[in-house]
Structure 1
Amino acid sequence: MIAKKVLLVGNFGVGKTSLIRRFVLNQFSEDYISTIGVRVSSKIVQFEKQEIKLLIWDVAGTSGDEKIPKAYFLGASAAMFVFDLSREETYLSIENHLESIRNLSSLKEVTIVGNKKDLLTKEELDAVIKTVSVKIDLITSAKEDDNVESAFLQLASQAIK
């Protein structure tokens, strides 16, 4: 089995911890508890006939201007940038966030995930997708367990490239 460090980054309150809880424990809670610093979880996944232990680093959210410590990015094999589909401020400056992540981690690819799909109508979701300036890899809902496993399997795929 191989172990790979993967990161979840994004603004505060976008649902990074909820995505991880749904993926690792198959649980969801409406309670919001802010992550301080970083929290590490793990889960073993099967991907392309190999067992991969994902060491999932839940990096504390920012309000956009704060810098994430470079040490969190050391040794990362993949990263997921999560934004809240219902909060414009979490995706308007997405290119700046991605550039920062790439600079800190040296990763070429970052998986882009729009979370909290359950809070929008189909029309609102379509409008957000048109507004976001980069290609969104997956639209998820931790609450409804929609596309959560797919998002982490995409991270696993990135991590072993």
Structure 2
Amino acid sequence: MIAKKVLLVGNFGVGKTSLIRRFVLNEFSEDYISTIGVRVSKKVVEYKNETIKLMIWDVAGTSGNEKIPKAYFLGSSAAMFVFDVSREETYLTIAENLNIVKELSGLQNITVVGNKKDLLSAEELENVIQKVSVNIDLITSAKEDENVEDAFMKLTTLALK
């Protein structure tokens, strides 16, 4: 079995913990509990006849100007940057936030995921997609379990490269 450390990063309140809970436990809670520091979850997945143990690091969200300890990023194989499609402040500075994550982690390819799709209409979502300055890999809803598995499989694919 191969073990891979993967990161979920992004502003506070974008749904990183909810995505992980949905993926690992198939649970969703409306309660918001802020992650302090980092929380590690594990899930074993099958990918191309390989068994991979994902060590998913849920890195505490920031409001932009706090420093995230570089130690959280050491040894990571892949990262997912999560933003909230319903909160403009989580995606307007996405390019510079991605650069910070790339600098800290040494990773070049980072999966970009817009979460909380269930809060917007199709038209509103299209407007958000037009505003985001980077390519979005997937739009998810942890609440409705939409594209969550796909997002983590994309992360797994990156981790194995």
| TM-score normalised according to structure 2 size | 0.99
Q: Which runs of 5+ in 1 are unaligned?
A: none
Is 1:68 the equivalent of 2:68?
A: yes
Matches for 1:82-161 after TM superposition, within 5 Å: 82-161=82-161
- Give the match for residue 10 of structure 2: 10
The amino acid that maps onto 2:134 is V
- Give the match for residue 58 of structure 1: 58
Aligned-partner Cα distance in 2 for 1:48–1:65:
40
Q: Which runs of 5+ in 2 are unaligned?
A: none
Aligned-partner Cα distance in 2 for 1:68–1:53:
25
TM-align CA RMSD: 0.4
- Give the match for residue 45 of structure 2: 45
Render the CA deviation track for 1:46-93: whole Å, top value 9, x for unaligned. Answer: 111100000000000000111111000000000000000000000000
Per mean C-alpha deviation after superposition, the further-off stretch among 11-20 and 63-72 is: 63-72
Aligned-partner Cα distance in 2 for 1:131–1:95:
12
Aligned-partner Cα distance in 2 for 1:66–1:152:
26
| TM-score normalised according to structure 1 size | 0.99
Runs of 4+ residues deviating >3 angstroms:
none
- SS of alignment partner, residue 40 of structure 2: strand
